[in-house]
A and B are shown apart, each in its own frame.
Chain A
Amino acid sequence: AQTVTQSQPEMSVQEAETVTLSCTYDTSESDYYLFWYKQPPSRQMILVIRQEAYKQQNATENRFSVNFQKAAKSFSLKISDSQLGDAAMYFCAYRISQGGSEKLVFGKGTKLTVNP
């Protein structure tokens, strides 16, 4: 069974500092995608960043970057120069494609607090 584990239920960071959110996953697939989604208090799910498993280069989107370690099945998110607007729940997700279907498996989330 595919699982996604986020070991940090809550994290906090000072404004302008850097924080790293952890995610590990379990899969027997060789071709898959990994995502980080942000959910602010508005409840809307917003894609932050994605990583294709076949790419060795870590994905980067402005202040957000990932550390993708395929052999270790680890996919951490680094937020640089943290801003108050980064405060949200962050979910790591893994997408599998099997038999024509596509499924997203989510971790339980990490609540990020940004302190001014």
Chain B
Amino acid sequence: NAGVTQTPKFQVLKTGQSMTLQCAQDMNHEYMSWYRQDPGMGLRLIHYSVGAGITDQGEVPNGYNVSRSTTEDFPLRLLSAAPSQTSVYFCASSYRTSNEQYFGPGTRLTVT
């Protein structure tokens, strides 16, 4: 099992550009989520999904879109990047009834 994979590991964008952060898991987990980590802020939930075709907003959803067309994939889209979106992004997955989330290695995004 590869677990939770994220691509790319690093990305630099200019303000206004768009991009998609990829996340995939091979553990057949129903639940997937995206977090952002900023210095001194811990991890904050952006969006989450409880299964294919079902997504919902977390604590800080503005500026981000998600979709879940398959169980395995949960991409995060930035439609018009802003400097405030400079952060480290983590994808995580778990079974619905599990009490542990598995995290990907993170993507460091810089918006200039």
Report yes or no: B42 in contact with A102, Cβ–Cβ below 8 A. Answer: no
Task: Tell me which residues across on chain A come within 8 A of B103, comparing CB atoms.
Answer: 44-45
B42: contacting residue among A35, A91, A95, CB under 8 A:
A91
Q: How far is the CA of A109 from the CA of B44 in the complex (A)?
A: 12
Query: Smallest distance from the beta carbon of B50 to chain A beta carbons, Å?
Result: 6
Task: Tell me which residues across on chain B come within 8 A of A108, comparing CB atoms.
Answer: 40-42
Task: Tell me which residues across on chain B come within 8 A of A9, comparing CB atoms.
Answer: 40
A43: contacting residue among B56, B94, B101, B105, CB under 8 A:
B105
Report yes or no: A101 in contact with B50, Cβ–Cβ below 8 A. Answer: yes
Q: Which residues in window 1-50 of B have CB below 8 A to A?
A: 31, 33, 35, 40-45, 48, 50
Query: Smallest distance from the beta carbon of A23 to chain B beta carbons, Å?
Result: 11
Q: Which residues in window 1-44 of A have CB below 8 A to B?
A: 4, 9, 33, 35, 43-44
Report yes or no: A103 in contact with B50, Cβ–Cβ below 8 A. Answer: no
Task: Tell me which residues across on chain A come within 8 A of B56, comparing CB atoms.
Answer: 101
Task: Tell me which residues across on chain B come within 8 A of A104, comparing CB atoms.
Answer: 33, 35, 43, 45, 92, 101
Task: Tell me which residues across on chain B come within 8 A of A91, comparing CB atoms.
Answer: 42-43
Dominant secondary structure at the A interface:
strand
B88 within 8 A of A: yes
Report yes or no: B44 in contact with A106, Cβ–Cβ below 8 A. Answer: yes
Query: Smallest distance from the beta carbon of B56 to chain A beta carbons, Å?
Result: 6
Q: Which residues in window 55-76 of B have CB below 8 A to A?
A: 56, 58
Q: How far is the CA of A45 from the CA of B89 in the complex (A)?
A: 12
> Sorted from nearest, which 9 A-B pairs have the closest CB atoms?
A45-B103, A106-B42, A108-B42, A106-B43, A33-B99, A43-B106, A109-B42, A107-B42, A102-B31
